[in-house]
Amino acid sequence: MKTPIIAAAMLLLSAAVPAMAAGDAATCQNLSKDVATAMASAIGDTSPARVEQLRGQQSCQSGQWDNGAVHYRKALRMLGRSETVHAPAG
């Protein structure tokens, strides 16, 4: 009796992980665009924000989406900008 229950639980978990990962990856992608836009119109020394942007890219590319989002948001704060609200995909 335990085997079918465990199998069903594993199936549900495996189906949920890609859905969560896609949302996190989308957040990274949206924040990356926000930072790039802010950098393009920034005046003055953007070196510290650029470092955070690069850290965000590295984190997101290695699947550490939460960490990447932290770096992107820090870059936006350094540039005096806030995160853009993006419409959900699909």
**DSSP assignments along the chain, one per residue:** -HHHHHHHHHHHHHHHHHHHHHHHHHHHHHHHHHHHHHHHT--S--HHHHHHHHHHHHHHHTT-HHHHHHHHHHHHHHTT--PPPPPPP-
Would residue 80 count as lying in a domain? yes
Specify the pLDDT at position 2.
56
Q: Which domain holds residue 31?
A: 24-90
Confidence of residue 83 (pLDDT cuts 50, 70, 90): confident
Question: Does the pLDDT of residue 62 top 70, yes or no?
Answer: yes
Domains held by the chain: number: 1
Of 6-15, 33-42, 70-79, minimum mean pLDDT range:
6-15
Would residue 4 count as lying in a domain? no
Question: Does the pLDDT of residue 67 top 70, yes or no?
Answer: yes
Specify the pLDDT at position 15.
40
